[in-house]
Each structure stands twice: as C-alpha cells, then as structure tokens.
Structure 1
Amino acid sequence: MTTLDGPRLAPASGQPAEALVIFLHGYGADGNDLIDIGRAFQPYLPTVSFVSPHAPEPCAMAPMGRQWFDLTLRDPTEYWRGVTKAGPVLNRFIDEERDRLQLAEDRIVLVGFSQGTMMALYVGLRRQPGIGGIVGYSGKLAGAEHLAEVPRPTPPITLIHGDQDQVLPVENLTEATNALGAAEIPVEFHIRPGLGHGIDQKGLQLGLGAIKGALGL
C-alpha cells in the first residue's frame, strides 16, 4: 500500500504534542499548499502538531500536483469510488501519525480543502473510536446515501464555503448539510459572501475556532 508523507510542524511550545491537526489538500495541489495555515495557527495552538500529507497519486490534470483520486466529472459515482479507494491509505497514515505522537484518537482533527474535504468527511466520520473533529473548506460530501452506516456519536463538523465558488458551487454545502441533517449528524456551517474557491481570513478564524472547540483548547 502507498505510504503518505508531507511537511510537518512540531508544537510551538517545544513540548510533546498534545493534539494533531492533519491538513488534506485539494486536487492538483500537494501538502505544501496548506501547511502555511498550520504556521499561522501555531501561536494560537502551541501544543498542537501539524502535518499536511501529499495525496497518493500524481494529478492527471496538473502533473506537478497530487490527487486523492482521479476526476473525470462525467461519472456521478466517481466521488464515492474515489474516497473509498483512497480511504485506506489515509487511514493508515492517520494511524501512523497518532502512534508516532502517542495521541488518543479524539486528539486528532482533520482539515480539508476541496477534494481534501471529501476525504476528511469520508474518513473522519468512520474512524473508531471517533476523532476530535472535522473542518471542511469548499468541499463536497461524497456518498450521502451511505451516511446510515456512519457510527455514532459523530465528531463535530464545521463546513465553510464561498458563495461565489465556481469549482464546487455553494450548493454542495447545502446538499451536504441537508444530508447530514437528515441522517441526524450535527454540522455547523458558514457561507462566505463574495468568496470563490478558496479560504479567506474569516474562514481561517472560523476554522481555528472549530479546532479549538473540538480539542477543548
């Protein structure tokens, strides 16, 4: 099985990590794309370690980037097939990082962007025992019809999306929150006015707040 790796940040405190935030990048990027968010968060989360793994596959549309799974945009089932295929690789990476840092499962938060949000929701909702939380930016919920299989209780979920997103339109946020609500899975969501497919300063603040809440910091 493929082994993931990527940039890491040790706790700013200089002490052993008390928690871990794992960033999951979007299609065509790599782990370097999100690790700077960890640097921005370090002063506010000094006891937390950060890691941003490179997705397992070279990106078909961006040869210098990576992908969690291929996108043809022609097959409506490809998101579900993609997350289920990439899920075991990501789960093994989470296991390895958890054990390396000697952390409990509930001290882990997954933060995804775009395709990384699809992975965060798929993997984060199904790990047992449950992780600390999930934060998803500009993403989509793959396999809403499979939510009945998700173990309970679920970790806290925060979804953030720009209302001018042309890549994954904000309707994906509505669909995700409706499906999660129908499955009685609590979710907090925020729509950022005027924002495209990206993360703005307010979104960073919301994400930081969600991480702090999930970890009780």
Structure 2
Amino acid sequence: MLDGPRLPPRAGGPATSLVVLLHGYGADGRDLIDLGEYWAPLLPNTAFVSPHAPEPLAIAPVGRQWFGYTERDDRERWTGVQSAQRALDGFLDAELARLNLPGSRLALVGFSQGTMMALHTGLRRTVAPAGIVGFSGIHVLPPARAMAEFDAEIIARPPVLLIHGDLDQVIPPLALPRAVESLQRQGIAVRAHLSNGLAHGIDATGLSLAGSFLTEVLA
C-alpha cells in the first residue's frame, strides 16, 4: 500500500473533500505536499495527501518513480501507466474510506509523471473524480491498434485543467495541445494554460489557476 505525507483540513473537523498530489519522476510525496499548504486557505475543509510512488528510482539511490522512465517513449509510458494504475487506485480507495468520503469528492493533481498517472487512473475510476489538474505532463495514449480498447476504458469524464510551460525541455509544450485534443475527443471538458517563460515546473500563475479550479470543482 502506498503512503506519504498528509495534511488534515485547515478548518478542523472531518474532511469534506480530498486532494491527492502525485509527484513526478525522481521525487517523492514530500515534493508536492506544500501545495496543500498553499491551497488550504481556499479549501479549508479539504484533506491533502501526497503518496510516494510505488517504486524506488531505478537510476539513483534516492527518489521514487511511478514506473521506469529510461526510454521516455510512447511504449514505455503506456506500459508504465498501466502497471502503476492498480497501486494508485487502491490507495485512492483506501484514503476515501479512511475519510468516509465518496469518490466524487476526490480531486487529483499531478506533476509530470504524476500527471500521466492522474489522467490515466482518474479517467478509469468507477466514480468520476470531481476534477483533475495536470502540470507539465502527457495524456498517455496506447498504440494505434489498441485505440478501440482504450476508448472503452474511459468511463469517468471529470473536468480537467492542464498547465504547461512554454520553455519545458523535459516534456515538450506540444504535449499540451495533444492532450487537449485527445481528452476532448473523449467528451471531456478541458481547460489549458501555457505559461510564458516557464520550464519544467510550476509557477505562481499555475498555482493560482489550479487553486481556483479546485475551489470550483470541490465547491
């Protein structure tokens, strides 16, 4: 079972919603938990958790990975999100049960590889999350021959906000319009923002946009 740092609702008392923060390749849950502190004034009744990815980083003695990411190609990404989905799904179910919340009170926030996991897992949840935020990521697609099966797997269609830097050299900015197109093709309402002058990271504008989005979908 996954685990990681948690923040209880700032207002005290039971949580009325849950935001799960999914870190990028080579980081761990501590990398994103501060986002909960940033958004807590907007979401005082929300609990935050940032699980450590299930695997130790393959190329270094510290850090975690949702899946191996050495080739960084479509095949590796597709195999990876499929392999890690079960662990993340189980963690989401356990956290919702712990807080006595329905799946509709869940929002997912991912960065980079965490965005890949948020989109892949969130769109396959039996109960659709309230929303998904993805920073600097990719909507992972299968090989063309498997698109029919892929379409059938998409059973949840929450609103999605995607944010990307126009100077990102890790995941090219072209991933943003490609993700928008693929999600819209599935009938998913997508908002997108390209941050000027931003490399592979999260800036103040992105934090503000994501905070407003989370406040809206978890209202």
Short-chain TM bin: over 0.9
Pairing partner for 1:71 from 69, 72, 76: 69
Pairing partner for 1:34 from 32, 35, 38: 32
Report if the CA contact (8 A) 2:127-2:156 is conserved: no
The residue aligned with 1:8 is: 6
Equivalent-residue separation in structure 2 for 1:150 and 1:58 (angstroms):
28
The residue aligned with 2:101 is: 103
Structure 2 residue 139 is matched with structure 1 residue 141: yes
Greater Cα offset, 153-162 or 49-58 = 153-162
Report SS of the residue matched to 2:71. coil
> Number of matched residues?
214
Greater Cα offset, 136-145 or 6-15 = 136-145
Q: Residue by residue, what CA displacement relative to the aligned partner does 1:6-30 show, whole Å, maximum 9, x if unpaired?
A: 0000001111000000000000000
Report if the CA contact (8 A) 2:96-2:102 is conserved: yes
Q: Residue by residue, what CA displacement relative to the aligned partner does 1:136-163 show, whole Å, maximum 9, x if unpaired?
A: 0000011264651244551110000000
Equivalent-residue separation in structure 1 for 2:162 and 2:72 (angstroms):
25
The residue aligned with 1:156 is: 159
Equivalent-residue separation in structure 2 for 1:62 and 1:35 (angstroms):
22
The residue aligned with 2:209 is: 206
Q: Which amino acid aligns with 1:115?
A: Q
Report SS of the residue matched to 1:111. strand
Residue 66 (structure 1) shift: 0.2
Pairing partner for 2:177 from 169, 174, 178: 174
Q: Residue by residue, what CA displacement relative to the aligned partner does 1:163-184 show, whole Å, maximum 9, x if unpaired?
A: 0000001111111111112233
Q: Which amino acid aligns with 1:88?
A: R
Structure 2 residue 211 is matched with structure 1 residue 195: no
Report if the CA contact (8 A) 1:147-1:183 is conserved: no
Equivalent-residue separation in structure 2 for 1:194 and 1:148 (angstroms):
35
Greater Cα offset, 41-50 or 176-185 = 176-185
The residue aligned with 1:93 is: 91
The residue aligned with 1:165 is: 168
* Aligned-residue identity in percent: 51
Q: Residue by residue, what CA displacement relative to the aligned partner does 1:92-130 show, whole Å, maximum 9, x if unpaired?
A: 000000000000111000000000000000000110111
TM-score normalized with structure 1 length: 0.95
Report SS of the residue matched to 1:141. coil
Q: What are structure 1's unaligned runs of at least 5 residues?
A: none
Cα 1:32/1:16, change in 2 over 3 Å: same
Structure 1 segments (4+ residues) deviating >3 Å: 144-147, 150-153
Equivalent-residue separation in structure 2 for 1:114 and 1:9 (angstroms):
22
Computed over aligned residues only, the root mean square deviation of the Cα atoms, in angstroms, reads 1.3
Pairing partner for 2:49 from 29, 48, 51: 51
Equivalent-residue separation in structure 1 for 2:137 and 2:93 (angstroms):
24
Equivalent-residue separation in structure 2 for 1:168 and 1:179 (angstroms):
17
